Amino acid sequence: MTAAPGPSSRGEPILTIGLPVFNGARFLAKTLGSLLDQRYRAFSILVSDNCSTDETPAICRHYASIDRRIRYVRQDRNIGAVANYNFTFRASEGRYFKWAAADDVCHPDYLLACIDALESDPELVLCHSRVRLIDEFDEPLPYVASFGRYRDRSGGLRIGPNERPMATDGTAVDRFKDVIRNTPPCFDVFGVFRRSALSLQGRFHRIDRELFFGREHAGQSIALSRREQARWIGFRSRNRLSPASLQFRLQLARAVIRSSLAPKAKVECLAFLCGRSGFRRLLAPSGLRQRLLQPGQRLWRKLQL
């Protein structure tokens, strides 16, 4: 792994923006430009290049040379999207963190609005804004009300942002259920959040302005087949009982177990997760589902006594 950190800025930034990228040269300059144009300035950008083969390295090195807040790291090999996203978070510093995709754009007020909301309410753990979908030419995608979807330039229908903000109130269990029910889409993952907490420990907040512009184009990961997506995220399945979707749900379960929630709340979250239709199908072979559910059911009965 090679790094071109550039001169460090004075003091630790309040916010780190992690930008994992692989062959993102087409829109990368616009993304970096929109971040550097933010009215809020106390942040650093960590770009982790997943061994790109296009012009991504040249673009990153150019921007790192003109702005001291940008640190460019190039991985020695393609470690997969999940590991690359995790790398940017683990290597971050400051109170707040934000992931940035290499094709999205933020309004100049975006970071300032999010940081102001988080600073004014310590119970908030994540802040995002309303989302506008745009195409490869920065033009807004039209909304087709009859389908409840957005139409891209090729005529295809795309899932847009949720109209109702999620995880804004209720208990930790309520917020967990709300996030699982409303994912996808997952635009909130690109919000600004406290590095120490997420939905199990606090509320989400949405700025009632369209300050985030999610780009829809043919080259994005959501347009890939399931097999291509598995390769993109870096998943290597060794057997048919362990597909990428099951691994994703197991990671959610692990997050619940490791959280600071009370045992009863953990069981409620795990029971909800196991009850989702996708999880039920994945756990069906060879009685696997029943074997995994029995310990939780026994613990639940004890807690009810």
> Which of helix, strand or coil describes residue 19?
strand
Name the nearest CA neighbour of 214 among 100, 114, 44: 100
- CATH superfamily name and code, 2-223: Spore Coat Polysaccharide Biosynthesis Protein SpsA; Chain A (3.90.550.10)
Q: Where along the chain do its domains lie? A: 2-223, 237-304
Residue 26 has which token pair? Answer: 């087409």
Helices assigned H by DSSP within 1-105 = 25-36, 56-66, 81-90
1, two tokens: 């792994």
Residue 296 CB neighbour total at 10 angstroms:
17
pLDDT tens-digit profile, the chain (305 residues):
655 443 344 567 899 999 999 999 999 999 999 999 999 999 999 999 999 999 999 999 999 999 999 999 999 999 998 899 999 999 999 999 999 999 999 999 999 999 999 999 999 999 999 999 999 999 999 988 887 788 887 788 777 777 778 888 888 899 989 888 887 677 899 999 998 876 568 899 999 999 999 998 776 666 656 666 666 666 554 444 455 667 777 888 888 998 888 999 999 999 998 886 455 554 455 455 555 555 555 555 555 54
